[in-house]
Structure 1
């Protein structure tokens, strides 16, 4: 059954990175369903044309399409200015663009780290630095969604740098939520599981500036076989509708796939088991009490300073 927005987003302006294919397009479609006006970044002209056709076929306003490499800080700043100039304000930022590149971490080169972290984490940073001043200056309902992955919680032997980038997005977003609350701006971490996208071919699109990989040369046949798993994934539009539903309630964490209960239970058990079974001194207990209290106050909209933590 389709998930419906509560309608309070109508007329608000959203910028979605990587918004012309895969999860980004699914989110853009759901935002459009809620009556939002859209600016979508893209790199592939064919994907942009496909996205434009969907909006035209559904009688929607054509998005503002902005060509952007999310690692380009100057380009990101220009994109933010262009969106504001076109629409008059910006209310929502969805940091979605990313690369899915895998290989054994012990063989990774600096180029592997620089590329994957530069897109998956650096792209989020660039979006925040470029757009947050404009979102803060806007009025009405506003929100930031940082798209990570279930890799923000689950690690694996072929996904070390990818996992590190998603853990980083998770930590940044969980902290950012406290900072944005006093401004009346919502903030969500969205962690999708397996989704029907073409993300499996990222290794075939490696930029020349990062050519010195420590991983083996990409094998197209092997990647295409890996891509068969993505064919079993969730429809990106469904991921988008669930993201929109999380924005409606200002959910701090949006999980779109139900199949990870065993993993979370194992993380919980292992984490508790790793805690030393011994009493903690009163001084340390008091510092942690103050931390928890400050977090609750921040979530309720209070600006927290270092003085609130001691």
Structure 2
């Protein structure tokens, strides 16, 4: 870990979905930077393995809190618990999510409610519960919302998943302007293929969202799909890149280099879709005011509605 990242030493971070996959990679990278940790989990065996990782290295054992990120009342309790334990909280990483796929035109209400409830609703619950605590704390502070490369790249089997990640992207990019005047950094992280067990999400569907419009997926088919994840980036590398992005105060953290062709195609498609005509002076003025307001917001100046007209 670089000396630059040591600016986070002693800072308190709360990470959701933090005992497996990317969440665990974030927790380990944060620990290496000297941060104190509160980690949410669902599975006791995974929690025990994570606790052992810290104990074997002589690190401070994190505060482990059992949490379903869709449970707003429990999320509020956890925020109080973290404050009671540490006295302050400086970093929030909303990471927990489910990866479930199927044709969007066949999706049921339960499909939408479950996936959006976890992937977007879980982020909302984290923000509502923890932002007042972070604002009340002092020093270097940051919020990271972990989305996915699906926040930019839709797919035929990932309509709801993509919608949830697009929503996290839009929320985070706007939130960054709101948090800047408080001296709080805010980053959107969009990882791509990572060595995790995210593909098992479909096997963990809650009974309360059991009425799926998707055809049942054979476990063997899921396991075959899961082999792709074996080619993925190590979660610790993703966690380290998130830490570095926080240190550098980057609004967007992209962890995987292989998507250059996708972004080039997106850029070309968007530019080609713009009408080739002159815009009237009035509209040009409004858009210039918007751009100036966004630049001011990035500098920490509060933007009001009257600044946009």
In which range does the TM-score fall when normalised by the shorter chain? over 0.9
Aligned to 1:194: 193
How far is the alpha carbon of 1:218 from its aligned partner? Answer: 2.4
* SS in structure 1 of the partner of residue 123 of structure 2: helix
Q: Deviations over 1:148-179 (max 9, x none)?
A: 00000000000000000000000000000000
What are the within-5 Å matches in structure 2 for residues 139-218 of structure 1?
139-218=138-217
Aligned to 1:78: 77
* SS in structure 1 of the partner of residue 168 of structure 2: helix
Residue segments in structure 2 that go unaligned for 5+ positions in a row: none
Q: Distance in 1 between matches of 2:290 and 2:132?
A: 27
Q: Distance in 2 between matches of 1:264 and 1:133?
A: 36
Runs of 4+ in 1 over 6 A off after TM superposition: none
How far is the alpha carbon of 1:268 from its aligned partner? Answer: 0.2
Aligned to 2:252: 253
Q: Distance in 2 between matches of 1:170 and 1:52?
A: 31
* Count of residues paired in the alignment: 309
Q: Distance in 2 between matches of 1:291 and 1:262?
A: 30
Aligned to 1:124: 123
Q: Would the aligned equivalents of 1:4 and 1:241 in 2 still touch at CA under 8 Å? A: no
Q: Would the aligned equivalents of 1:91 and 1:139 in 2 still touch at CA under 8 Å? A: yes
Q: Deviations over 1:154-211 (max 9, x none)?
A: 0000000000000000000000000000000000000001000000010000000000
Q: Would the aligned equivalents of 1:20 and 1:48 in 2 still touch at CA under 8 Å? A: yes
Aligned to 1:301: 300
Aligned to 2:46: 47
Q: Would the aligned equivalents of 1:5 and 1:244 in 2 still touch at CA under 8 Å? A: no
Q: Distance in 2 between matches of 1:42 and 1:247?
A: 23
User: CA 1:116–1:108 in 2, change beyond 3 Å: closer, same or farther?
Assistant: same
TM-score by length of 2: 0.99
Q: Distance in 2 between matches of 1:222 and 1:293?
A: 51
Residue segments in structure 1 that go unaligned for 5+ positions in a row: none
* SS in structure 1 of the partner of residue 243 of structure 2: helix
